[in-house]
Amino acid sequence: MMESTTQIQEFGDLKRRLAELESRIEIANRMASYGPIVDANLPEATAELWTEDGTYDAEIDKFEGRQGLMGMVTGELHQKLLAGGVGHFIGVPYIELRGDHATAVTHALLLVQRREGEDFKVWRVTATRWEWQKVGNTWHILSRVNRKLDGGDTARSIFRDVFEKKILESSL
């Protein structure tokens, strides 16, 4: 009887660990899809990454709700970048899961072609924090904040806030 109780507990632990891995993979995949989706000029698909009332503080502008996010993609700046050649690149994320909520941090690079036929140049490198919420069976972005890594403390604090907390938790 003891063995079957242990097996049930082990099965429950494996089931929980598998669900956590599936969540991490889904979040990472959805983050990785952001660049190709906006570079393909797909406003609806971009907006669907977020919750209905999700926000994106890109530092150079702020977007609220799915309508605002679609407006970002169809807006003048984004369309100008697309016409000139642009690539949005999201680095490999560090993800913390807490039930149906997650936080991810990573670097984001915006590559632009200054003139036709020229090589691409890095226009912006940002520290990026993504807050995720599981809605039904799908993870959606609740908020995203970018800050340019310009030597100041604001962008570094995006990373520091996550990792200092992690260090403190592990030392307790």
Put simply, whether the predicted model's pTM sits higher than 0.75 gets the answer yes
Rounded to 5 degrees, what are φ and ψ at 22?
Answer: -60, -40
Domain borders along the chain are 2-171
pLDDT digits (tens, 9 = 90+) for 109-150: 999 998 877 899 999 999 999 999 999 999 999 999 999 999
Q: What is the mean pLDDT of the chain?
A: 93
- What does CATH list as the number for 2-171? 3.10.450.50
Q: Quote the Cα angle for 8-13-17, to 5°.
A: 150
pLDDT digits (tens, 9 = 90+) for 60-85: 999 999 999 999 999 999 999 999 99
Q: Under a CB-based contact definition with an 8 Å cutoff, are residues 111 and 87 in contact?
A: yes
CA nearest 123: which of 28, 42, 46, 59?
A: 59
Lowest mean pLDDT among 12-16, 55-59, 112-116, 122-126: 112-116
